[in-house]
Amino acid sequence: MTHSQRPRRASVPGTKTVFLLSLAAFSWLAMTGCSALGFESNYDKQVSYEFDSRFEGKDQMVLPESLPNEAVNVKEIVRSTGNERILRADLAGALPRAVRR
């Protein structure tokens, strides 16, 4: 009697393996989005500027042109996480008409 050999099936990963790999990939992506892996510390930068008057900051081309000329004790924080600029200044006079609401 001759034995016929069955053709070998191609190695295909099972459903359980595909599920576990997908779950691992999703978990890794979720952790990077929640900063659980610590990647954000490499990109989160902050720069602070302090000036006695608006003109000092204007000479260094740091402060925006919209800041009134009467501004003194100017402090600005610029963060690299987006277009975030925190600007604080004391004004010697009244607010300009363009700033009032």
pLDDT digits (tens, 9 = 90+) for 29-62: 777 666 555 555 566 678 888 888 888 887 877 8
Backbone dihedral region for residue 82 (phi beyond 0: left; psi -120 to 50: alpha; all else: beta): left
The reported pLDDT for the residue numbered 57 is 81
Q: For the chain, count helices (H), then strands (E).
A: 2, 3
Cα–Cα distance for residue pair 70/63, rounded to 1 Å: 13
Cα–Cα distance for residue pair 4/40, rounded to 1 Å: 61
Q: What are phi and psi of 14, to 5 degrees?
A: -75, 170
The band of 100, judged by pLDDT with boundaries at 50, 70 and 90, is low
